[in-house]
């Protein structure tokens, strides 16, 4: 495979096809004893090499797969405990210059109703999200911000933070998924107080990338590949990466993603804060979206999640509402640490009342899980996890290397567990249905028995007495 615009050593360090194919070939099988050795190493919570990651991906035997899942589950519990962080995407615009063949927002899709929310409309969306109980949003947009350019996005971030619906009833963290920027604009994005900057390479496979990105700035593979480097150089130390699974062979993608992480760790001393694992979903007027060139079965999807959990244990794993409730339920145990819930992928989707006309034609892709937040919360509890609306690390400056210093010796759980309880208690008091309240309180009572910190108990009491936004 030729990679004509990938010429310099730095790009080849991020992804070198020849090396990836060599690794895939050399590690194309492993006997059960070797897999078990790798899993034992995984249980030491230090991560595993690219080569060992590749070997785990080759496993097909159901019993061995189960051992991989069990190991992932162990790793997840040791590092993150029982908490599962919740957020919602906030689509502010579906205008786009690009021609990504799998996406409904692509420029030539004339069938799509285009919407660019005004700042007032964004504030209405945010109010609707807060009223459901959300505390974290992921701001998303197509790549085109007419007239105002990046200022439109920066103002939108300000707008999100400015909306308050009462004591402690606001969005406390805005993560952003927008097109790659140059270094100066990344600095401006950092100054806007974002949480995570997130960008998916879609596919690391150059030829596939070129076939699927037919026009617009996104056609430049290399500019996208280097985006995280520029973000780090601009001082953003909290970044998220991902692959859109279904476009190209999943083993190639996972090894490439892992190679990207190796490059970041080598050059910046730090990998991504999160990895997202979106799987291709049907999208308006897109043949590719309904006919994935390299479909990923449910079994392989679970394997990808579990192997990533073992391979890079300190990196959060995000699962969106692209997946249905059953898959999401299974994935919690495999190592997912954050999920979106109650999502809409059409700009203006939250504020629409049920009696208004649906704007489904403005959606980016169809969702597998359309349940409201309250139902998802109840389901998370049913699966034995604690829904968390925590935004503490980011607001207390525990990001980048500081976060890793706490995560690696297993200290982060000491913050995550109480903060999950405190923010969940807020949610139950302020937003939950009676049924969710009942189940949620039962869980909290059980968890409080294991908390031997008077400080945390005191804070919990303050929440129950009506105080808000109290974190550890």
Phi, psi for 101 (deg, rounded to 5): -65, -15
In this structure, the strands spanning 197-198 and 239-242 are parallel
Residue 139's H or E segment, with its range, is strand 136-141
Any idea what DSSP says for residue 2? Answer: -
Q: Which of 133, 142, 342, 347 binds ligand SF4 (CB under 6 A)?
A: 142
Sign of CA dihedral 334, 381, 417, 328: positive
CB-wise, 168 or 217, nearer to ligand SAM? 217
- Is 72 a residue that touches ligand SAM (CB under 6 A)? no
Q: Which of 52, 83, 106, 309 binds ligand SF4 (CB under 6 A)?
A: 106
Bridge-partner residues for 100, per DSSP? 213
- Is 98 a residue that touches ligand SF4 (CB under 6 A)? yes
Nearest approach, Cβ of residue 109 and ligand SF4 (Å): 8
Number of residues that bind ligand SAM (CB under 6 A): 20
Of 419, 114, 399, 72, the residue nearest 231 (C-alpha): 399
Q: Which stretch binds ligand SF4 (CB under 6 A): 6-14, 72-80, 96-104, 181-189?
A: 96-104
The burial class, CB within 10 Å (0-12 / 13-18 / 19+), for 465 is exposed
Locate all alpha helices (DSSP H) within 163-297, ordered by sequence: 183-191, 206-212, 221-225, 227-233, 250-268, 287-290
Nearest approach, Cβ of residue 293 and ligand SAM (Å): 12
The whole-angstrom separation of Cα 271 and Cα 403 is: 11
Q: Which of 107, 199, 305, 312 binds ligand SAM (CB under 6 A)?
A: 199
Number of residues that bind ligand SF4 (CB under 6 A): 9
CB-wise, 89 or 400, nearer to ligand SAM? 89
Q: Is 285 left (phi over 0), alpha (psi -120 to 50) or beta?
A: left
- Is 277 a residue that touches ligand SAM (CB under 6 A)? no
- Residue 289 interaction partner, one of ligand SAM, ligand SF4, none, beta carbon < 5-8 Å per kind: ligand SAM
CB atoms within 10 A of CB 309: 27
- Is 218 a residue that touches ligand SF4 (CB under 6 A)? yes
CB-wise, 202 or 253, nearer to ligand SAM? 202
Q: Which of 38, 85, 137, 289 binds ligand SAM (CB under 6 A)?
A: 289
Calculate ∠ Cα 79-82-87, nearest 5°: 100
Tell me the per-residue interface mask from 308 to 347 with ligand SAM, x by CB under 6 A, - otherwise: --------------x-------------------------
- Is 280 a residue that touches ligand SAM (CB under 6 A)? yes
The whole-angstrom separation of Cα 347 and Cα 140 is: 9
Tokens of 194: 């974002």
Bridge-partner residues for 87, per DSSP? 340
- Is 278 a residue that touches ligand SAM (CB under 6 A)? yes
Of 24, 135, 106, 51, the residue nearest 311 (C-alpha): 51
Any idea what DSSP says for residue 164? Answer: B
- Is 416 a residue that touches ligand SF4 (CB under 6 A)? no
Q: Which of 30, 103, 289, 367 binds ligand SF4 (CB under 6 A)?
A: 103
Tell me the per-residue interface mask from 222 to 261 with ligand SAM, x by CB under 6 A, - otherwise: ----------------------x-----------------
Nearest approach, Cβ of residue 286 and ligand SAM (Å): 6
Residue with tokens 């899980």: 369
Instruction: Give the rounded distance of the alpha carbon of 453 from its chain centre.
Output: 31
- Is 179 a residue that touches ligand SAM (CB under 6 A)? yes
By residue count, the chain amounts to 472
Q: Which stretch binds ligand SAM (CB under 6 A): 13-21, 280-288, 297-305, 439-447?
A: 280-288
Q: Which of 105, 209, 250, 415 binds ligand SF4 (CB under 6 A)?
A: 105
Contact status, residue 457 vs residue 418, Cβ threshold 8 Å: no
Give the residues lining the site for ligand SF4 (CB under 6 A): 96, 98, 100, 103, 105-106, 142-143, 218
Give the residues lining the site for ligand SAM (CB under 6 A): 102-103, 140, 142-143, 177-179, 199-200, 202, 244, 278, 280-281, 283, 289, 322, 364-365
């Amino acid at each position: 495979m030729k990679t004509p615009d990938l010429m310099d050593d730095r790009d080849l360090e991020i992804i070198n096809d020849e090396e990836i194919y060599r690794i895939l070939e050399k590690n194309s099988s492993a006997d059960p004893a070797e897999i078990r050795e790798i899993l034992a190493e995984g249980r030491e919570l230090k991560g595993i090499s690219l080569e060992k990651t590749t070997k785990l991906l080759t496993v097909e035997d159901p019993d061995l797969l189960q051992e991989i899942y069990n190991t992932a589950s162990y790793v997840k519990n040791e590092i993150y405990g029982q908490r599962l962080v919740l957020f919602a995407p906030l689509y502010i615009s579906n205008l786009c210059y690009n021609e990504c063949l799998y996406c409904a927002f692509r420029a030539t899709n004339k069938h799509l109703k285009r919407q660019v929310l005004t700042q007032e409309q964004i504030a209405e969306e945010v109010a609707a999200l807060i009223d459901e109980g959300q505390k974290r949003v992921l701001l998303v947009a197509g790549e085109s911000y007419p007239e105002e350019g990046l200022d439109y996005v920066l103002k939108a971030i300000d707008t999100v933070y400015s909306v308050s619906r009462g004591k402690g009833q606001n969005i406390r963290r805005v993560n952003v998924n927008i097109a790659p920027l140059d270094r100066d604009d990344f600095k401006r994005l950092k100054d806007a107080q974002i949480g995570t900057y997130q960008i998916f390479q879609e596919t690391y496979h150059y030829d596939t990338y070129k076939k699927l990105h037919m026009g617009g700035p996104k056609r430049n593979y290399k500019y996208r590949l280097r985006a995280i480097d520029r973000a780090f150089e601009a001082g953003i130390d909290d970044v998220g990466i991902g692959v859109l699974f279904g476009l190209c062979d999943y083993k190639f993608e996972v090894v490439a993603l892992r190679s990207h992480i190796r490059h970041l760790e080598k050059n910046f001393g730090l990998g991504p804060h999160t990895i997202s694992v979106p799987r291709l979903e049907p999208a308006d007027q897109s043949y590719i979206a309904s006919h994935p060139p390299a479909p990923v079965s449910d079994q392989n999807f679970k394997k990808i999640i579990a192997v990533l959990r073992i391979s890079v244990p300190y990196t959060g794993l995000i699962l969106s509402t692209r997946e249905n409730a059953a898959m999401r339920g299974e994935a919690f145990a495999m190592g997912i640490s954050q999920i979106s819930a109650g999502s809409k992928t059409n700009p203006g989707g939250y504020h629409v009342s049920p009696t208004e006309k649906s704007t489904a034609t403005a959606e980016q892709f169809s969702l597998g899980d359309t349940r409201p937040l309250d139902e998802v919360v109840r389901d998370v509890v049913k699966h034995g996890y604690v829904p968390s609306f925590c935004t503490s690390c980011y607001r207390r400056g525990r990001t980048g290397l500081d976060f890793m210093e706490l995560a690696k010796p297993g200290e982060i759980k000491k913050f995550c567990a109480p903060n999950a309880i405190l923010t969940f208690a807020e949610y139950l008091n302020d937003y939950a249905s009676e049924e969710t309240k009942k189940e949620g309180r039962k869980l909290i009572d059980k968890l409080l028995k294991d908390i031997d910190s008077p400080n945390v108990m005191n804070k919990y009491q303050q929440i129950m007495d009506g105080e808000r936004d109290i974190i550890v």
